[in-house]
Chain A
Amino acid sequence: MKPAPLAYCDPTTVDEAVAVLADAGDEAKLLAGGQSLMPLLNLRIVRPSVLVDLNRIEQLSEIDARETGGIRIGATVRQRTLELDATMRERLPLLVEAVRLVAHVPIRTRGTVGGSVAHADPAAEIPAVTLVLGATMHVLGPTGPRTIPATEFYLGPFTTGVDPSDLLVAVEFPPQPPGAGWAFLEIARLHGAFALVGVAALIHAGADGTLEDARLALCGVGGTPVEIEGLDELVRGQRPSASLIEHVARRVRETIEPFTDTQAGAGYRREVAGVLTARALHLAASRAGLEVAA
């Protein structure tokens, strides 16, 4: 099908975009890469009367690598740009690994980091990474700019702290801790399809080889990306071992409340979440240069 009639504009500044939103209210939709929104328009699942194209706003397409190590990614930075960026690969390899699992190259040339975060598909990879890395969302609304931490951002399926009158301007990632190990693994029916289950893992150890922290977030197992809380207490001071990893995997299986849909049953998702968690932690440990005791 084709999109229903709509009015289109392509502002060149964020202030113009927010002004259009203020006029149009709930009738407007923001268009970034369009790889989720355009299918919804074509299928007429979504019928906005006004479409605000963000792609002519130069400021939104900038990657700002801070001297402190953090990186602020403008809302319309393409997933493909990020994947090929040497600084991103060096500083945020976990994000790059996840992005490479998002659909296919001809989708990632258009798809954006901001769009994925704002769309908040529960099966999407990038939102899970924002949780693990402790990202901050920069939002501009009618009353001015504000920030929302990733932990408070995802409210439900396709629902976030970005209100209809708001624009997500950028996603800011703090530096990955030095010496950290990371992994993003997923199971999907086809390469490039949405994950049935995906796991983002980040661990880091002190100079003595004992763990200081472990963070895990999963996609595809609930209405939002799910962070597994309290792992820092579980692992702190311990050396990575097969039994510790199995302990964490069990915690994951017990914590999540997966759903059944046409793709997979809840029980299968729970099982896969545990298996992927263990694999991700083994990989993260090896990337951190840590040996996993049997």
Chain B
Amino acid sequence: MTVTPVDARPVRMLVNGDEVEAQVESRRLLADFLREDLELCGTHLGCEHGVCGACTILLDGEPARSCLLLAVQCDGAEIQTVEGLGRDGVLAPLQEAFREHHALQCGFCTPGFLMTASYVLSTTPGVPEERELREALAGNLCRCTGYHNIVDAVQDAARRRQQTSPQKEG
């Protein structure tokens, strides 16, 4: 069987639970596909070369840089963006915690932090230690907060989760 490289092709993926289908140029970055083709502008593009973390999304449940993925690569994949965190205009507990702890100022980096942090919460039982949390968030850059409030917010979200469903711990 031979394989022929193409300039564009159709893709199907599940984005925040919605099935989407589109014809995309091969060079189209996933970040641009989300922002421009699907009009999901919550995913922010900072550096466009994988350093700043603003464009972090979840690809099949794991955090990844959407500026370092081509949309064609994600054919058949499940994508979660910041738009998928809250539902019907109600913020997710993690987003609430960010607001309460003043974990954002200009907000540019926030979508990336929220996606990385939601992965940390989904894979860490209990409340993550500060050191471990700082390491987990080290791939996201923030120029406003100095990180303290972000760490506080994620720990608080984890603590509240523990209070609501204590039987899940351990």
CB distance A35 to B139 under 8 Å? no
Say whether B2 faces chain A, with CB atoms less than 8 Å apart.
Answer: yes
When distances are taken between beta carbons in the complex, the residues of chain A under 8 Å from B49 are 38-39, 42-43
Contact A109 B32 (CB under 8 A): no
**Interface 9-mer from B57-65, B93-101, B143-151, B153-161:** B57-65
- Distance in Å: Cβ of A138 to nearest Cβ of chain B: 22
Q: Which of B15-23, B69-77, B80-88 contacts A (4 or more CB under 8 A)?
A: B69-77
In angstroms, Cα B28 to Cα A4, docked, is 10
Q: Which A residues from 1 to 19 make CB contacts under 8 A with B?
A: 1-11, 13, 16-17, 19
Interface contact B2-A51, CB-CB below 8 Å = no
Contact digits for A24-38, partner B, Cβ 8 Å, 1 yes 0 no: 100000010011001
> Which residue of the partner chain A has the closest CB to B32?
A2
Our pick among A9, A53, A109 for the contact of B64 (Cβ within 8 Å) is: A109
CB distance from B60 to the nearest CB of A (A): 9
Distance in Å: Cβ of B34 to nearest Cβ of chain A? 14
Binds B, one of A99-107, A214-222, A265-273, A284-292: A99-107
Question: Do A2 and B29 touch across chains, with their CB atoms under 8 A apart?
Answer: yes
B65 touches A107 (CB 8 A): yes
Chain B contributes a number of interface residues (CB within 8 A of A) equal to 35
> Quick one: which of A3, A9, A24 contacts B27, CB cutoff 8 A?
A3
Is B138 a contact partner of A104 (Cβ separation < 8 A)? yes
B67 interfacial by beta-carbon distance below 8 Å: yes
A191 on the B face (CB < 8 A): yes
A1-B48, A7-B6, A16-B1 given; A35·B68 CB < 8 A: yes
Chain B residues, Cβ within 8 Å of A43: 49
Report whether B2 and A16 are in contact in the complex, using a CB–CB cutoff of 8 Å: yes
- In the complex, the answer to whether A50 meets B5 with C-beta atoms within 8 Å is yes
In the complex the two chains form, is B139's CB within 8 Å of A42's CB?
no
B65 contacts A8, C-beta separation under 8 Å = no
The verdict on B53 contacting chain A, using a C-beta distance below 8 Å, is yes
In the complex, whether A20 has a CB less than 8 A from a CB of chain B is yes
> Could you jot down 10 A-B contacts, CB within 8 Å?
A3-B70, A6-B26, A7-B7, A9-B4, A31-B73, A34-B68, A34-B69, A38-B67, A109-B59, A110-B69
Q: List 18 other contacts, CB 8 Å, given A104-B53, A105-B116, A110-B64.
A: A3-B27, A10-B72, A10-B73, A20-B5, A24-B5, A31-B73, A39-B49, A42-B29, A42-B49, A42-B67, A50-B5, A51-B26, A105-B119, A106-B63, A107-B50, A107-B65, A109-B59, A109-B62
